Amino acid sequence: MTFFHSLILGIVEGLSEFLPISSTGHLILVSELLRIPATVFSKSFNIIIQLGAIAAVIVLYWDKLRNLDLWKKLIVAFIPTGIIGLALYKVVKTYLLGNSLVVLWSLFLGGIAIIIFEWWQKKKVEPVDEISSITYRQALLIGLFQSIAIIPGISRSAATIVGGLAMGLSRKTIVRFSFLLAIPTMLAASGLDLVKNYSAFSTDQFGSLAVGFIVSFIVAVVSIRFLLGYIRNHDFTAFGIYRIVIAVIFYLVIFGLR
């Protein structure tokens, strides 16, 4: 993996981590376009550079993260994904990460699901609430929705946001909770991958990780601020359409080249 590859993938990660379009799915597809081999390191790279985007959340939401009750809810929400992710780690990394077809179908069907959900959601009045209003039961259910995103292309953000909206939370509240839930989730996923594979990484590969981390952090700060501004006057229908279009384009490009 070259410096250029790390730079491009860092930008892709920072842009897509918190949007409902699947950062992992985009990293897999862009890696395919760049002809980056699906090695153990490249798969680990796509997981670990998410820490850069998570660092952006920590910096932007440092004040909220000093709330112990919030952390308790985040841990409760993380539990389902932690258990399922640990149990299926080998399956996901061996058979799903790097599988472009799985990503394309997940993007396509997920896009349709978002459009249908938003059409249904328009019939409801948007509530006004805060993160503190989220109950432990709701946190656990949001975590169950998040666990679906172990399938590349589903999107962790999309799963948690749709789950929260379906439970009656306001768009602003669930989007921010989704940002914060990424912290324990991605720390655990990246930590597990590092523990299992760090000894096989070379010095140059750690350099690639550093580049991806820094770039994803910078771009994620911009992406988070964009999304918070976007949801004031828009729903996620445009992201659903984007998912469908990008899935079709990538299918024609990737499989057309084979």
Residue 226 binned pLDDT confidence (cut-offs 50, 70, 90): very high
pLDDT at residue 128, as a whole number: 57
- The helix (H) or strand (E) run that includes residue 95 is none
Do 54 and 74 meet the contact criterion of CB atoms below 8 Å apart? no
Rounded distance between C-alpha atoms, residue 236 and residue 242, angstroms = 10
Q: How do residues 90-124 score in pLDDT, each as one tens digit?
A: 888 777 776 888 999 999 999 999 999 999 887 66
At 257, the pLDDT band (50, 70, 90 cuts) reads: low
Mean per-residue pLDDT, 138-157: 92
Q: Which pLDDT belongs to residue 123?
A: 65
Say if residue 10's pLDDT is above 80.
Answer: yes
For residue 47 the two structure tokens come to: 């997981």
Share above pLDDT 70 across residues of the chain, in percent, rounded to a whole number: 96
DSSP per-residue letters across 196-248? HHGGG--HHHHHHHHHHHHHHHHHHHHHHHHHHHHTTT--SHHHHHHHHHHHH
Question: Is the confidence at residue 151, as pLDDT, over 80?
Answer: yes
- Helical segments of 92-155, H only: 100-121, 136-147
pLDDT of residue 184 exceeding 90, the answer is: yes
Token duo for residue 111: 């896009």
Crossing angle (nearest 10°) for helices 136-147 and 68-87 = 30
Alpha helices in 61-198 (DSSP H): 68-87, 89-91, 100-121, 136-147, 156-166, 171-197
Pairwise CA distance, residues 237 & 97, whole Å: 27
Supply the pTM of this predicted model. 0.88
pLDDT of residue 43: 83
